[in-house]
Chain A
């Protein structure tokens, strides 16, 4: 009888305790541990409990609804062996602790030659963290943070730390602190990533010779902040609507010998912000409809601006804190296209204007002295302010392009202006009387 009672008690314990959750965690780690080197582990459409450590080369493939959920105390997935491949997973709940010695991530990679692709990362401090990890491929991942309101409480989408020769492509990052943060990371390549609603879409610190192509930065506080980094190539990227009191499309701060070509800077507070930077080449970019096209601080020397299309900005370019040395607005006899704001003649039809474009402004002093000036840059009053000050005060030359390009043909506003023109002409032809009849008098003639 005693034995029977004891057995039933043990069974009842199994009934009341729900061990599935913990066992699932052990299961996944146990499953990984039980696999052979180079094996393929296919996960089902269910939630597996983390955290897990992968310390052998293998492939883990999920399905559309495979979730690996961390316990909130560390990295959800730690990759500590080379040649690991992760794909089609959702990874959530890393530790968000900012006081620990280690910065945690959804996926933390410590080794080389790994592939992480088609992974969704949510509720994690950093998204994917490469720590002294080289030759990895991070592709097609989607990382979502807590949004712009939470800058300090969260980490970066991709954090590349002392990691070289990695390929980062087709990732989508939204609402993290920085989209991609490179710290002492060289020779990495980033292609076609899409980053929005972060503090800095791209943040380089002490990272050299990286290539960055065809990425899109939208609605970040700052598009890309290149600090203390040299010999980078930024080509064909789009910096769109990075717009706020401190915002910029691309900032070069103590960054030298960088090649910036073919990029689009559209509707940013400042398109390019250049401070304490030298020998950068800015070529063939479209810098359009920004409040300030190029903000160049005096400490920046030897910049070359050539073949850029700079138009429809409230202020095309402004030089602050004095004039830097050897900043050149043309190269090999080819300057920049400054749009319709600077009409040019080209009598010999060689595509180069017959006289230099010089932009003088008195606004720079106000921008230097008073940060609230930025709040007025969208106001039509700015143009009046400039024109009145042109006659009253001394203006300084902001730039002189000796070989400006003549404006490209084809104007997108033609139809709009045509319609408006017809309307205005009609009203003028019919006279003031008609205007009054139109808005009053029930449409009847007097």
Chain B
């Protein structure tokens, strides 16, 4: 609880959280204006898909920065050393710090999405289940990239390193991961498609998108071929859960194993 309170105080004094929130607010309002001529009963789904497709460009990079700089700040201000000397070891510090970050980042975002739902009510026929799925998708993306951010903050010694690694991670998940898979695509056959599918859904952006679009009933998997059936060997929600567990664990472990307690400017 102390960590949540500390994180909250640090973030409301800083501009990062407010900048991120204002970008999300601006984008969602601009998409709402663009969607006003959509139909009353189905426009809601189109808006959510468009909103997600836009937010997915911003949430990951903002969360990476917030997570990374939050940890790095502890190094810069020497509070990390103080905390570790006092009672915590690094893993317990990181766990508490992550929990604090989740709360501080997600509470304002979720609050905005609840307010946004009220705005949507004036224009569209709401589907609360779909909206909840949309919020879960946004939460999952934020969680994964916040945790990756904390790992980047833990292993970095300077701000330049943070900038470099963050941009690389963002670039990797946005372009490189899919690009590598596209290069292997001609060799995918029934025998190896499950492995290919596991790697495909390791990209949080793809597993979250699939979860959202199938969960909302927008994307239909009808009349699947044998290959596609093998590709979708479990439900999208399990792909997402697997992805979440995998990246949270990997990020957490990386942060603990490779953490550097000192940072310089």
Chain A positions near chain B (C-beta within 8 angstroms) = 148, 151, 196-197, 199, 216, 218-219, 221, 240-241, 243-247, 266-267, 366, 369-373, 375-376, 378-382, 384-385, 412, 415-416, 419, 423, 432, 435-443, 446
Contact = CB atoms under 8 A, between A and B. Distances in A.
Contacts of A241: 42, 45-46, 49, 218
Contacts of B218: 219, 241, 243
Given A380-B174, A381-B175, A442-B13, A372 B231 contact: yes
Contacts of A199: 222
A245 B186 contact: no
Contact of B206 (A221, A379, A385): A379
Q: How large is the interface on B (under 10, 10 to 19, 20 to 34, 35 or more residues)?
A: 35 or more
Nearest to B183: A385
Interface in B23-37: 23, 26-27, 30, 34
Contacts of A381: 174-179, 182
- Name which of A245, A370, A412 has the most chain B CB atoms within 10 A of its CB: A245
> Chain B interface secondary structure, helix, strand, loop or mixed?
helix
Given A240-B42, A419-B26, A442 B14 contact: yes
A385 B163 CA distance: 26
B37 to A, nearest CB: 11
Contact of B46 (A148, A240, A369, A443): A240
Interface stretch (B70-78, B85-93, B238-246, B249-257): B70-78
Given A366-B186, A376-B178, A436 B159 contact: yes
A243 B10 contact: no
Nearest to B58: A420
Given A372-B188, A376-B182, A381-B179, A247 B13 contact: no
Interface in B174-225: 174-179, 181-182, 185-186, 188, 193, 196, 200, 206, 209, 213, 217-225
Contact of B175 (A372, A373, A384, A435): A384
A196 B42 contact: yes
A436 B160 CA distance: 9
Given A218-B42, A438-B19, A446 B182 contact: no
A438 B228 contact: no
Contact of B222 (A246, A376, A385): A246
A6 to B, nearest CB: 62
Contact of A439 (B13, B16, B174, B176): B16
B15 interface: yes
Nearest to B68: A439
Given A240-B42, A384-B179, A371 B186 contact: no
B106 interface: no
A245 B186 CA distance: 18
Contacts of B27: 416
30 contacts: A148-B220, A197-B217, A221-B220, A221-B222, A240-B39, A240-B46, A241-B42, A243-B220, A245-B219, A245-B220, A245-B222, A245-B228, A267-B46, A375-B206, A375-B231, A381-B176, A381-B179, A436-B159, A438-B15, A438-B16, A438-B19, A439-B14, A439-B68, A439-B70, A441-B14, A441-B69, A441-B73, A442-B13, A442-B73, A443-B13
A438 B14 contact: yes
Given A197-B217, A381-B176, A439 B39 contact: no
A375 B14 CA distance: 40
Nearest to A370: B185
Contact of A446 (B34, B68, B221, B265): B265
B186 A369 contact: yes
B175 A380 contact: yes
Contacts of A436: 69, 159, 162-163
B134 to A, nearest CB: 15
A370 B228 contact: no
